[in-house]
């Protein structure tokens, strides 16, 4: 399945930016750099009409829960704007905001 058609599925730039924010803030955790790299390629592809990442890449590099969320997003993008909004709201409910625990931990040790 090609993912080059995704940039055309959003109602407007605001909806696309909201979805990208969910991916960036809640799915792409840089503590798992390989997974994060492929999630950010997918994030980028939502704005572009060329191939940045494939489903095969995602299946090989993204954990099961996040992969299922991406597959649901792809289906929503190809279905309706309302389903995209519902996906974003659901993902915000399921996935907490990723915090940089390393930075927080190191700043507490310098007193």
Which is more confidently placed, 79 or 105? 79
19-66 pLDDT, tens per residue? 999 999 999 999 999 999 999 999 999 999 999 999 999 999 999 999
Residue 87 pLDDT > 60, yes or no? yes
| Cα diameter, the chain | 53
- Report residue 60 CA to chain centroid gap: 16
Note the pTM of the prediction, 2 decimals.
0.88
Q: Which letter does DSSP use for residue 96 in this model?
A: P
According to the model, what pLDDT value does residue 2 have? Answer: 82
């Amino acid at each position: 399945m090609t993912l080059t058609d995704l940039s055309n599925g959003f109602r407007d730039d605001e909806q696309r930016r909201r979805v990208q924010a969910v991916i960036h803030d809640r799915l792409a955790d840089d503590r798992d750099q390989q997974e994060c790299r492929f999630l950010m390629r997918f994030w980028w592809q939502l704005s572009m009409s060329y191939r940045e990442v494939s489903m095969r890449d995602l299946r090989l590099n993204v954990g099961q829960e996040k992969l299922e969320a991406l597959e649901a997003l792809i289906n929503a993008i190809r279905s309706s704007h309302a389903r995209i909004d519902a996906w974003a709201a659901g993902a915000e409910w399921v996935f907490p905001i990723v915090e940089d625990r390393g930075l927080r931990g190191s700043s507490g040790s310098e007193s």
